[in-house]
A = this chain, B = another copy of it.
Amino acid sequence: MATKENPAGSPLESLNMQAVLSMRSSGYYSQRTAGAKHAIDSTISLLRDALTSLPESGVLRFADFGAADGGTSAALWAEIVATVRSQGDTRPIEVLYTDLPSNDFSTLFKTMQGMEGNLSDAYQVNYGNVFVHGCGTGFHRQLMASDSLCLGFSATAMHYVSEKPCEIEGHVHMVGANQVERDMFAQRAADDWEKILLARCAELKKGSRFIVLNFGIDDQGQYLGNTGGHSMFDKFTEHWRMLQKTGTITEKEFKRATFSQHYRTVEEFRAPFDDTQSLVSQAGLRLKSIRTQLTRCPYEHAYRDANGAISRKEFAASLIPTMRSWSETVFSSALVDREQQEAQAIVDQFYQCYEDEIAAAPDGHAMDYIHAIMEIEKT
C-alpha cells in the first residue's frame, strides 16, 4: 500500500502487525505504536499553532502532500478538524491528499469514510461540511489553484528526488556515495526543494503555513537507520555486494540498486530561506523554525524493553519487514532483466542474509528515524 512518495511513513503500516500481535498482548502493540506516534505528536502542536492564524477564506482548504493511503496521518487530521470545529469555526473544510498516480487512493477514500481503518479517524463522516479529495500528481508541481491553501502538511515524503541524477557505483544510497555522485544528488535535491517550495508558496494564502516532517541528516550526521550502531544503508550495501561477489547478481545489477532519495542536511533545508535573494525568499516564504528529531525504532525499543521475552530471532523477524516494505522495490527493480520468480528468490535471499546477521548479534541494529521538522509561512 505504501507508495514511492511515503514508503516509510509508519512502521505500523508497513509491518504485518497482525502476525506480531497474534503472539503478543495488546500492550505490546501500544508499546510499538509509541515510537511512531512521537514524530507525529510533535507536529500536532505546530499544526495547532498554524490553526490560530488561519487566513480569511470562505473555504478552509488543507492539503497532505505525499500522503500515501492516508493511514499515517488520519488521526492527525481528525484532531485538526475537531480543533477547528471546537473553536466554533463552521466553514467548509476541503482536505486534498496528494501522491503519485499509482497511489492507493481507494483505501484513502474508504478510510476517511469509515469503510476501513479506525472509525474515530473517519473525520469525513464524523463531522459535517468536510470534504476529502485526492490529487494524483507529484508534489514537485503546483497541485491546486494559487492562493487557495490554508494549511499544508507533509510527513516523510519529500526525500524522494524527482529523478535519479546517476546510479551510485559503490553504494546503494547517497549517504554512501562518492563526492561526485553526492554532489549530483545534492544539486538535484536543491532544485527539487526549490520547486517544491515555490509550488507550495503559489498554493498558500498569505499568512498560511506549511508544516513539513522530512527525513534528513542531523548535526551529528545521523539519519534513518544510522544513529550510532550499524548503518542500515551500509548493511544493505554489504549484503547486496555479497550477492555480486558470489555471482548471484551482476555488477550492473549492483549499481542499479540506487535509492532515488536525498537526505538533506539542515543547511540544505535552510538554504533557500537563508538567501534573501533566492526565488523562494522573494516569493514570500519564510522559515519560522527548523529542528531535527530522533524517533526511536519501535521494534528495537520493544526488544530492549522486553528484557529477553522477545528472542533475537523474533526481533530480527520484526525489524526486517519494516525495512523491506519501502526498500524492496529498489532491489527488485535492479533485477528487471530477470524472470520475476528468479528476481524474487534473490531478493528473499538478500533480506534473509540481513535478518540472519541481526538474529546472530542484534546489538546496534535499529531503524531509528531522523526527521527535520519545519514550520514554513507565506508572508
- Contacts from A to B (Cβ < 8 Å): 58-59, 92, 94, 96, 101-103, 105-106, 108-110, 113, 115, 124, 129, 131-137, 142-148
Contacts and interface: CB of A to CB of B under 8 A. Distances in A.
Contacts of A124: 137
B148 A59 contact: yes
A113 B101 contact: yes
A38 to B, nearest CB: 31
Nearest to A110: B101
A115 B147 CA distance: 28
Residue with the greatest number of chain B CB neighbours at <10 A, chosen from A92, A103, A109, A146 = A109
Q: How many copies does the complex hold?
A: 2
B143 A131 contact: yes
A135 B146 contact: no
A105 B70 CA distance: 15
Contacts of A134: 105, 133-136
A63 to B, nearest CB: 11
Contacts of A96: 133
Contacts of A147: 58
A92 B58 contact: no
A110 B133 contact: no
Contacts of A101: 105-106, 109-110, 113, 115
Contacts of A137: 109, 113, 124, 131-132
B136 A106 contact: yes
B109 A146 contact: no
Nearest to A60: B145
B135 A131 contact: yes
Contacts of A135: 109, 131-134
Given A101-B115, A131-B143, A143-B131, A136 B109 contact: yes
A59 B145 contact: yes
Residue with the greatest number of chain B CB neighbours at <10 A, chosen from A101, A102, A106, A129 = A101
Given A105-B136, A124-B137, 14 more contacts: A58-B145, A101-B106, A105-B105, A105-B134, A109-B136, A109-B137, A110-B136, A113-B137, A129-B145, A131-B135, A131-B144, A132-B137, A133-B135, A134-B136
